[in-house]
Chain A
Amino acid sequence: MSPAITMGGFVALYIFLLAGFTGWVVIGGVPAILHTPLMSGSNFVHGIVVVGGLFALINATTTTERIFGTVAVVLGAGNAAGGYAVTSRMLAMFQESKHKQPAHAGAAHGTAHMTAPHSQRVKKTGGAK
């Protein structure tokens, strides 16, 4: 008996149900400032499709399967790698500032990195929707 996972339709439905609920809840309280990075981040996550592509390609027996398998891997890898690059660039701008106080109005310091919002601000934006 193979350890490859086999599952009936109902087990699959349970998985879909719980995963869907998880996705809904995880995104639920997100502040508006993170909408773009988060869309990009979830775009990265479905890049996992590359794993399915690898499975299809490695098990290919005909040329047709091989061609579409290769296309799947190229596109899936593009989804994952591109998604990662773009998301990490966007999110990097929220970094570097955890130990910094928000800049005071009028303080004209040239470097002016992004300042991390204090918790109150996060709550405010979250409730703004």
Chain B
Amino acid sequence: MIAMIPQLVINATGIVAAFLFMYGLKRMSSPVTAPSGIFVAGVGMLAAVLASFLYALAANAETRPYVALNTGLAAVALLIGGGIAFWSGRKAKMTSMPQMVALYNGMGGGAAGSIAAVELLGHRAHGFSSLIVTLLGALIGAVSLSGSLIAWAKLESILKKPARIPGQQFLNAAVLLATLALGGYIVFVSKGGETPLVDAPRWIGLFFGGALILGILMTLPIGGADMPVVISVYNAATGLAVGLEGFVLGNPALMIAGMVVGAAGTLLTVLMAKAMNRSVAAVLFAKFGPGGGKKTKGAPPGSLKPVDASDAGIFMRYAKSVIIVPGYGLAVAQAEGKLYDFVKLLQAAGVSVKFAIHPVAGRMPGQMDVLLAEAGVPYDLIFQLDDINDEFKDTDVALVIGANDVVNPAARTDKTSPIFGMPILNADKAKKVYVIKRGQGKGYAGIVNGLFYEPNCNMVYGDAQAELVKMIEAVRGLGAHAAA
């Protein structure tokens, strides 16, 4: 009877943790309660992890001799993995949040895969369904691991260009089929999990290898503009893998948490893909970006007209209304603080200033909101696409900072453009458009932007932060003159 107590405590803690996760996620889905949401979920996690050490007391006779060693190892592994990740998460720049999420997500997928490896190599998965679910979780977890790492490397700019192999689709399909066939063979030789897998380590190794290669192949050809969707897909995938391994381990907390994330992640993915007017399948099967997008014709009519930052700044100072369209370039230049300084100057001069956020601006949905929030920009200046798009035509100046594809009119007009149909911000409808851009390069999707060639558009070339400082100085200089 006494021997049952640890297991009972673990089970009870699991239920509490599962509840706290769902409650925490619910709180996280409203801005007012969001900060407490992660704390609630964190409490659940801490309780579940601490209770897990009770497994040491519930160990059966076979494992008892190893329990002390295993438990010590577990504590060390927990501290090392948790410590390093916590430290890196605290230290990471706000702009590199997307790749941090990708990295931690890959770790979760890897953990699910490793659990499956223990189950398979230790002959623990008994029974037909258990073995198949283990293999399925292993496949999804391993794909999520390698895929997330590729996504991380792309966002970190370690991998620069989408790599495309001729016949990519067929290659992916072939690797997937081969991996599934290996899984089927493992089920077959173990007679559906009835007999131990005698010479199986080799096959299990190949199975994992195939899954890891599949994740790499699937992610390599996908362009950077699609990375938010890809991370979201892998987030959902890791959740699913965790849920499946939870089933194998008979742990409902893992099943519930994993499945909640699997479903929530899937919905987030759909929402993001919808915002880009693309199907999730089109993203995953990489029908986007250079190569797929046929390097469209030459330059559009018109010309690029560079202008000094100070001129642009002064023009905005005397405008009635300005809408700012921030993009990833703002995040890269870490110019959000300077941008808000500039906005405050304009406001002090009586200019009405608003921010227009495209759903997929940056590398992750909501990233721009987070950045502007960090700089201290009040909510009531920040507007989402649908709420502000009609205002551009009555606005004096649209200031585009480090954004490109989300203001490319080709999405409205050019049926051959890979982004055709994506809702864009109507920056081109403003009376005057200024674009702060590092160079003449194309956007992340690798498409020429006709907006930059329009008669009402001027380019301010340079680092966003430096150019904003020039604008601030120019406007301040005016103020000094007026005072003198």
Contacts and interface: CB of A to CB of B under 8 A. Distances in A.
Interface stretch (B71-79, B214-222, B281-289, B437-445): B71-79
B373 A93 contact: yes
Interface string B290-314: 0000000000000000000000000
A77 to B, nearest CB: 3
A3 B267 CA distance: 36
A31 B84 CA distance: 32
* Chain B interface, >50% SS class: helix
Interface in A91-122: 91-95, 98, 102-103, 105-106, 108, 111-117, 121-122
Given A34-B366, A49-B112, A52-B249, A82 B239 contact: no
Interface residues of B, number: 140
B90 interface: yes
A35 B62 CA distance: 47
A93 B370 contact: yes
B231 interface: yes
Given A41-B25, A105-B353, A86 B100 contact: yes
Given A37-B366, A57-B73, A50 B253 contact: no
B275 interface: yes
B210 to A, nearest CB: 18
Contact of B37 (A41, A74, A102): A41
Contact of A81 (B82, B231, B274): B82
Contact of B115 (A34, A47, A53): A53
Interface in B83-133: 83-90, 92, 94, 97-98, 100-101, 103-105, 107-108, 110-112, 114-115, 117-119, 121-122, 129
B53 interface: yes
A32 B348 CA distance: 29
Interface stretch (B28-36, B446-454, B468-476): B28-36
Contacts of B175: none
B67 interface: yes
Given A27-B267, A68-B121, A105-B381, A82 B103 contact: yes
Interface string A63-92: 011101111111111111111111111111
Contact of B22 (A26, A46, A111): A26
Nearest to B84: A78
Contacts of A7: 250, 252
A111 B377 CA distance: 10
A39 B265 contact: yes
B262 A75 contact: no
B366 A47 contact: no
Nearest to B367: A36
Nearest to A73: B77
23 contacts: A6-B250, A15-B259, A20-B262, A23-B25, A26-B260, A33-B384, A37-B370, A40-B97, A41-B38, A44-B45, A46-B239, A48-B258, A52-B112, A54-B52, A65-B118, A69-B70, A74-B80, A75-B114, A82-B88, A91-B35, A108-B344, A115-B379, A122-B31
- 6 nearest A-B pairs in the assembled complex, by CB-CB distance: A85-B89, A23-B263, A82-B85, A77-B81, A112-B376, A74-B81
Given A5-B11, A38-B28, A91-B28, 18 more contacts: A4-B250, A19-B263, A29-B29, A34-B34, A36-B98, A36-B364, A42-B25, A48-B45, A52-B111, A58-B56, A58-B74, A66-B70, A69-B74, A70-B77, A72-B114, A78-B82, A82-B89, A84-B38
